[in-house]
Homo-oligomer: A and B are copies of this chain.
Amino acid sequence: MAENLRLTTTVAAVLAVFLEDPQAPHYGFDLTRATGQPSGTMYPILLRLERAGWLEAHWEEIDEAVAERPARRYYRLTPDGLATACSQVAALRKQLGRASKAQKEQVAW
Question: Assembly of this chain: how many copies?
Answer: 2
Q: Which residues of B contact A102 (CB under 8 A)?
A: 19-22, 82, 86
Stretch at the interface among A25-33, A44-52, A63-71, A87-95: A87-95
Q: Does A12 contact B (CB under 8 A)?
A: yes
| Contact B106–A16 (Cβ < 8 Å) | no
A interface residues, how many (CB within 8 angstroms): 35
| Contact B9–A101 (Cβ < 8 Å) | no
In residues 57-109 of chain A, which contact B (Cβ within 8 Å)? 82-83, 85-87, 89-90, 92-99, 101-103, 105-107, 109
| Contact A98–B9 (Cβ < 8 Å) | no
Some 10 contacts from A to B, beta carbons below 8 A apart, are A9-B92, A13-B95, A15-B99, A19-B101, A19-B102, A83-B106, A86-B107, A90-B99, A90-B109, A93-B93
Among all A-B residue pairs, the 6 with the closest Cβ atoms: A19-B99, A19-B102, A16-B99, A16-B98, A20-B98, A22-B102
